[in-house]
Amino acid sequence: MRTPAETAPNRPAAAVDNGLPLQVAVIGAGPSGCYAAQALRKGQPDIEIAVFDALPTPFGLVRYGIAPDHQGAKAVSRQFERLFGQPGVEFVGNVSVGTDVSLEALLENFHAVVLATGLGTDRRLGIDQDPDARVIGAGDLIRLLNSDPDARLRHRHGGPESLGSEVVILGTGNVSADVARLLSKSDLDFIASDVDDDALRAVAPNPVRTIHILGRCEPHAAKWDASMVKELAEIVGVHLSVDGVPLLGEPAASPRTTVSVRFQHVPISVRRLDGRVRVTTRRAGDSALVDHLDADTVITALGFDPSPAQSAQFGGVEASNVFRVGGPATGRLGNLAENRKLAADAAKGVLEFLRGQEPLHRTGLVGLRDRLPASVVSFEAWQRIDGAEVRRARPDRCRTKFTTRDELLAAAAGSGALVSIPTATPEAIDTTGEVK
């Protein structure tokens, strides 16, 4: 059996006029990194680019951050696949810069380095919080439901556990709408998705009965798209109200899930109380108006920050040939359209810098080959993972992802040892769409 490294392609791009092709390393194969690589190639088609990622799979947030029931948005990965199909563009997966290979080694071998490492941690509440209260991050939850092998909830002691029948979501952005939608859907609503069914059944054995969404801002200042709220309200069996006013009128039948959005509620503490969680808020502009809300779990959807590892490895890096794009540049994870524009602007800056430099020889990825781990995953190897996941898809799912690095690397190597997983039978799903 071949290792992924043995099948790694080595396809040099055409040299520039002086015979010294420009070499750029991009750290992070998520949308910002891929968009930046696309823009660099558009600006200078003969540039050589190596895109590194610590995961064995490319596409970052497209694969693990976009909600698994939004396959239309995930389809952007197809244009990134065309990028990696070009000579002179390499995917270098399962390589952690800073651990497997140093940033200094990249700077020695490439003319420029682009940091597109994203923001790996849910932003913390920053208020009085009982450490024993059940509080999880929305990013952690979505990564779990997207089969991220490194999802923190997957690796907690005892594995993922039920969120309960009543949850509070703090934040009124698109991520909070994603979480509310995922937790209120029936099994039938996930047809054609790539949701991690095992993880979903662990955290929400049945759709959550009551979801409270709290925002500190006024309704017009909410950061979510109106289309996201409309999509949530239109799920069959969901009743959504905003500050007590039903969004689509009163339901004709008892709803499966009630979603209540309340604005101008500023959280001031999260405490554990009788095995549940109590969220205390005050009304914006009037600290005397205090409310208490009890639930089984609190989910924070307040944005993202660099992970401690990202801060330690790249936080203080400053050099004229090091550029940042996406989360490391702006401090926030925007939507795909925003990231595409920002990546184009960053690529323009990279090319302007490169064209102003003396043409020094850099070997690019070729100079690093002997320093890369044997388990490096090429784009060709990723395509084997992709094909295996599609072939093992459960009924009514577009793919069933591997959830461990060992499985991903075995699929990358073309191992025939990977067998189909047990699949849910139609009899296991009742008429409401809930798994029995």
How many angstroms separate the CA atoms of 294 and 225, rounded? 28
- Please tell me the predicted confidence (pLDDT) of residue 435: 33
Q: For residue 305, which of 147, 428, 122, 169 has the smallest C-alpha distance?
A: 122
Mean pLDDT score of the chain: 89
- Residue 123 is given by DSSP the state P
Query: How confident is the model over 94-130, as pLDDT tens digits?
Result: 999 999 999 999 999 999 999 999 999 999 998 999 9
Task: Assess whether pLDDT exceeds 80 at residue 167.
Answer: yes
- Please tell me the predicted confidence (pLDDT) of residue 430: 37
Task: Assess whether pLDDT exceeds 60 at residue 425.
Answer: no
Whole-model pTM: value is 0.90
Encoding tokens for residue 271? 């405490």
Q: How confident is the model at residue 426 (pLDDT cuts 50, 70, 90)?
A: very low
Q: Is residue 296 within 8 Å of 163, Cβ to Cβ?
A: yes
Task: Assess whether pLDDT exceeds 60 at residue 429.
Answer: no
Q: Is residue 214 within 8 Å of 262, Cβ to Cβ?
A: yes
**CA atoms within 13 Å, Cβ hemisphere of 7:** 18
**Treating both helix axes as pointing N-terminal to C-terminal, what angle do 174-184 and 138-145 enclose, rounded to 10 degrees?**
50
Q: Which residue has the tokens 């563009």?
A: 89
Task: Assess whether pLDDT exceeds 50 at residue 355.
Answer: yes
Task: Assess whether pLDDT exceeds 50 at residue 421.
Answer: no
**Treating both helix axes as pointing N-terminal to C-terminal, what angle do 77-84 and 31-43 enclose, rounded to 10 degrees?**
50
Task: Assess whether pLDDT exceeds 50 at residue 40.
Answer: yes
Sign of the Cα pseudo-torsion (147, 149, 150, 156, in order):
positive
How many angstroms separate the CA atoms of 50 and 228, rounded? 36
Q: What is the percentage of the chain residues whose pLDDT exceeds 90?
A: 78
Encoding tokens for residue 238? 């969901």
CA-angle at 239, arms to 259 and 271, nearest 5°: 15
How many other CB atoms sit within 10 Å of the CB of residue 108? 12
Query: How confident is the model over 362-382, as pLDDT tens digits?
Result: 999 999 989 999 999 999 999
Position with higher pLDDT, 20 vs 75: 75
How many angstroms separate the CA atoms of 417 and 157, rounded? 28
How many angstroms separate the CA atoms of 20 and 392, rounded? 45
Q: For residue 197, which of 424, 404, 425 has the smallest C-alpha distance?
A: 424
3-class DSSP string for 363-398: CHHHHHHHHCCCCCECHHHHHHHHHHHHHCCCCCEC
How many other CB atoms sit within 10 Å of the CB of residue 372? 18
Q: Is residue 359 within 8 Å of 154, Cβ to Cβ?
A: no
Task: Assess whether pLDDT exceeds 60 at residue 259.
Answer: yes
How many angstroms separate the CA atoms of 244 and 107, rounded? 57
Encoding tokens for residue 252? 């004709």
Q: How confident is the model at residue 139 (pLDDT cuts 50, 70, 90)?
A: very high
- Please tell me the predicted confidence (pLDDT) of residue 18: 61
